[in-house]
Chain A
């Protein structure tokens, strides 16, 4: 057992971890941030994507102790309380959600992309979500949604 401190969705956590625990195990089994999904356990599907210090990682490929002192954003930390993040709103409106299992990871990949590149081309969007598999939609509606989210974010920026 080992004690580590890390920041998840803006809050500080001090938790006991097992040395062989992965970040996904810490998030799900220990802290019950169950929005982070495990689809393959080997970095192929991206369902376990979280943002760590501003960059997306597969939380199944990070050992929990490596996250010591890091800032993690999970799907639970996207949006503001009851209000949806523009990406989530666009996913809903565009019908980009079917079974939903890929969605937390997709939303986080989209967020990491739009945080760095607010107005991506459709190709850049495809590249941005190329580490996330979806077996239902065929991706087009997800790309539409991220495109729409980028416009929402632009409008939001203009009104501020």
Chain B
């Protein structure tokens, strides 16, 4: 299909109107780092392209009450440099910094990473661990949905043809809460993750794990939570012993999930190390 028309709206409402009008024939472009390749390879087609990279309200990182909100059009470079996210949100910054290359981080957006729902998306695990909520605008108004419910399958999301992801938000981290991220790729830059893991942790006054949320990328059809391992840790002290047992549990989970895949043997072993590093970072970051 040939591209016949292109639009560059400056307001969310304009973008929604265009989506509503063109429906399936249109595609949203922001950073373009995935879409242009799939259009050229014929994997996706669209006769209308709507560029949302000029919509200012999508490009803000703000704090509203006790929520941090990141606009869907925020680039990974902007996440890495965001004053509001320094130190306390190191897990999020690490994830953003691990995306692609400087050129790709300058263009690629948080919203694009979420809506493409690649199994290897680097930014999805930390957002899942933060129990992020998405704000979606459509012709019927605004709705909210948990990220966990939004991603329905590999590359599939619960977004109608006339809807636009506006922002992603999550609860502000408190002093005893921390987020860790770790990624295993074949090289440092431009590496599609083999495994990426993010751990959210809340530590109680008696130094035990009050709450933990673990989310993995590249270990299933899409980014997902590891509830069995999370439940194991709840209420336990974080010692080298419990971490060892926890990572073994994770190994079993991954092994069962990847049954029959050639990567299973490698990944079930590697995930233990990747997880342990992410957890230790979460512990470290919870002290900030």
**A and B, direct touch (CB closer than 8 Å):** yes
* Residues on A facing B (Cβ under 8 Å): 2, 19-20, 22, 41-44, 46, 49, 55-58, 60-63, 65-66, 68, 109, 112-113, 127-128, 130-132
B39 (CB) vs chain A CBs: closest residue: A20
B4 lies within 8 A of chain A by Cβ: yes
Residues in chain A near residue B188, CB distance under 8 A: 130
Q: Are A43 and B103 within 8 A (Cβ)?
A: yes
Q: Find out whether the CB atom of B101 lies under 8 angstroms from the CB atom of A19.
A: no
Number of A-B contacts (CB under 8 A): 85
Cβ-defined contact, A131 with B29, below 8 A = no
Residues of A within 8 A of B8 (CB): 65-66, 68
Please tell me if the beta carbons of B36 and A63 are within 8 angstroms of each other in the complex: yes
A55 to B188, CA, bound (A): 21
Q: Which of A2, A19, A46, A127 contacts B103 (CB 8 A)?
A: A46
- Among A65, A68, A109, residue most surrounded by chain B Cβ atoms (within 10 Å): A65
Which residues of chain B come closer than 8 Å to A2, judged between CB atoms? 6
Residue numbers of B with Cβ under 8 A of A are 2-6, 8, 29, 31-33, 36-37, 39-40, 49, 51, 53, 77, 100-104, 106-107, 188-190
Residues of A within 8 A of B5 (CB): 19
Which chain B residue shows the least CB distance to A53?
B106
Which of B2, B32, B77 has a CB less than 8 Å from the CB of A62? B32
B37 / chain A contacts, CB cutoff of 8 Å: 41-43, 61
5 A-B interface contacts by CB (under 8 A): A43-B104, A57-B103, A61-B37, A109-B103, A127-B102
SS of A interface (majority):
mixed
B183 to chain A, nearest CB (A): 14
When distances are taken between beta carbons in the complex, the residues of chain A under 8 Å from B40 are 41
Q: Give Cα A49 to B107, complex, Å.
A: 12
Asked if A20 contacts B3 (CB within 8 A), the reply is yes
Q: Is the CB of B29 within 8 A of A63?
A: yes
> A68 to B29, alpha carbons, bound, how many Å?
14
A19 vs B37: C-alpha distance when bound (angstroms): 15
* Residues in B neighbouring A58, C-beta threshold 8 A: 33, 103-104, 107
Q: B36 to chain A: which residues have CB within 8 Å?
A: 22, 60-63
In the complex formed, the residue of B with least CB distance to A112 is: B102
Contacts of A68 in B (CB 8 A): 8
Smallest beta-carbon distance A34→chain B, Å: 20
- Report A-chain residues with C-beta under 8 Å of the C-beta of B51: 63, 65-66
Smallest Cβ distance from A142 to chain B, in angstroms? 14
Query: In the complex, what distance in Å separates the CA atom of A109 from the CA atom of B5?
Result: 32
Q: How far is the CB of A3 from chain B (nearest CB, A)?
A: 12
Bound together, the chains give a CA A63 to CA B7 distance in angstroms of 11
Q: Are A61 and B6 in contact (CB under 8 A)?
A: no
Instruction: Among A41, A43, A63, A128, point to the contact of B100 (Cβ < 8 A).
Output: A43
**Cβ A130 vs Cβ B189 within 8 A:** yes
Q: How far is the CA of A23 from the CA of B83 in the complex (A)?
A: 31
When chains A and B are docked, how far (Å) is the Cα of A65 from the Cα of B4? 12
Residues of B with C-beta under 8 A to A61: 31-33, 36-37, 103-104, 107
* Cβ 8 A contact of B6, one of A43, A63, A132: A63
* A56 adjacent to B32 (CB under 8 Å): no
Which residues does chain B contribute within 8 Å of A63, judged by CB atoms? 6, 29, 32, 36, 49, 51
CB-CB under 8 A from B102, the residues of chain A are 56, 109, 112-113, 127-128, 130-131
Distance (Å) between the CB of A105 and the closest chain B CB? 9
- Bound-state CA distance A130–B98 (Å) is 11
A57 to B104, CA, bound (A): 7
Contacts of B101 in A (CB 8 A): 43, 46, 130-132
